[in-house]
Chain A
Amino acid sequence: MPVGTEFYIKEGMISSELKNVDTNNDGTLDHFYFSIWNQKLHAKQPLGNIRKLSLRIDGEEIEPNRMYFVIRDQWICIEQMPTIKDIWWMLKEEAQIYVKQDGGIKPGVHNVEINIENQVLMYTRSIDSKDIRPRVTLNLQSEMSTV
């Protein structure tokens, strides 16, 4: 049981680049994304262990139905992520957070702020679906350049 107030090693947890992509190969950019690495002290957990994830780009809140957590090429809409028990995010594993946006994101530097609420029900295989334990919140901010 670690002492203290930090549940993550924040340094190096998110990338510094936003990448535009054409996911359906129709010749038009339709999403942008950045990478995130699992640096939770208790790292290996089902995705549903993340009870809530929110994202602001340049101060604008991104709607959850436009966001996807992508891991090992599996796309999970952020809205459904708290239900996921059988897809696990492993220790130090890279995942991507995709945002659906026609035309991608404009070139330049953008302020990215991500908030993750993680359960502290410390039974690795259980999702705290009844919210019986408090949550810990991670806030990460970064200036990301479009590439």
Chain B
Amino acid sequence: MKTTISVGMWSMKQYSLKGTKTFDEILETVVEINPDKSIDLMEDYVPCHPHTDMYEVLQLKKRIESFGLVINSNWFYTDLIGAVYVDSYEKVVNDLKEYIIVVAALGAKFMNTPLDSPLLPGMTFEEGYELYLKLYEEIIPIAEEHNVVIGIDGGLEGFCSPRTALKLVKDIGSDYLTVTPDFEAWRTPTERMPGVFIETPDIEEKTEALPIDVFKASLPYSPLIHAKFLVFDENGEEPNFPIAEMMAMVKQSHREHTFVIEYEGWIPDINPHLDPAVETKKGIDLLKRYLG
């Protein structure tokens, strides 16, 4: 079992939104707190919209590497069902192909496409699933050509769960399509932090965690794992997730895994007054403590 830790820029985003650190200062912070010198870059920080500026993409890569950091993965918002419905299948395929090329230009291994696509009214699971199959089958050859591994991040309920991601990956059977299990799926909602999500207010409120067996079943297909953290207690533990159980499973895994730390406690609903870097470091320490 070999593991690497990468820091998701999501963990640091409060600095950008409040203007308390520049991008370079955030990179310096990541260098200080992450001994593995790896980051996950979300699209907010990538010059790919509305049209990709390839020169700026390459400059960004150089800039990040100048800090001694490696871009391990990228993350794009992908409500594929919604986008196909309001635009077109062809447009979405073209966007995804472009994203793959951007990821390759940044030198990253992985592109994450979250399964944040609640089914449309009247749409069956099978219809949504068929659409996803078709989309991924069409973009995988581009991923292979550019040596970018696609991860499907499932962390919500129903169609958006890791179960769906795992089924897609198994059905397609390509090394270039993988599951990115998100700790969120195994969080037990509490009164302090209920199972509601601002970006999917229409889906059923989550009331319980997904069975841990789904995490175990995902591991052979999961080079990348999203390690979401919300709060840490005085012992540096994260009580919202079954960390000990999950890490015991990872230690038994036969493949290499990279954990992307997604510290989310900085959002207005949780602990916006805490320093995201200090808390993110607690997440890194926690994983290293369990994984040895």
What residues make up the interface of A, taking CB atoms closer than 8 Å to B?
1-12, 37, 39, 41-44, 46, 85-88, 91-92, 120-130, 132-134, 136
Contacts and interface: CB of A to CB of B under 8 A. Distances in A.
Contacts of B114: 1, 122
Contacts of B234: none
A122 B269 contact: no
A42 B21 CA distance: 18
A124 B200 CA distance: 15
Contacts of A46: 49-50
Contact of A123 (B16, B79, B196, B200): B79
A131 B44 CA distance: 24
A132 to B, nearest CB: 6
Contacts of A1: 114, 116, 155-156, 182, 184, 197, 199-200
Interface in B58-82: 76-80, 82
Interface of B: 13-14, 16-19, 43-45, 49-50, 76-80, 82-83, 85-87, 91-92, 95, 114, 116, 118, 120, 155-156, 182, 184, 193-202, 230, 264, 267-270, 272
A4 B82 contact: no
Contacts of B17: 9, 39, 41, 43, 91-92
B31 to A, nearest CB: 21
B83 A3 contact: no
21 contacts: A1-B116, A2-B198, A2-B267, A3-B196, A3-B230, A4-B197, A4-B198, A4-B269, A11-B18, A44-B43, A92-B17, A92-B19, A122-B79, A122-B82, A125-B91, A126-B87, A127-B86, A130-B85, A132-B86, A133-B202, A136-B198
Interface majority SS on B: helix, strand, loop or mixed? loop
Contacts of B155: 1
B268 A6 contact: yes
A42 B45 contact: no
Contacts of B76: 124
Given A126-B82, A133-B82, A44 B44 contact: yes
A9 B230 CA distance: 17
B288 to A, nearest CB: 25
From B78, B80, B267, B272, residue with most partner A Cβ within 10 Å: B267
A125 B83 contact: yes
B230 A125 contact: no
A134 B197 CA distance: 12
A5 B82 contact: no
Contacts of B85: 130, 132
A59 B141 CA distance: 57
B268 A123 contact: no
Contacts of B198: 2-7, 41, 120, 136
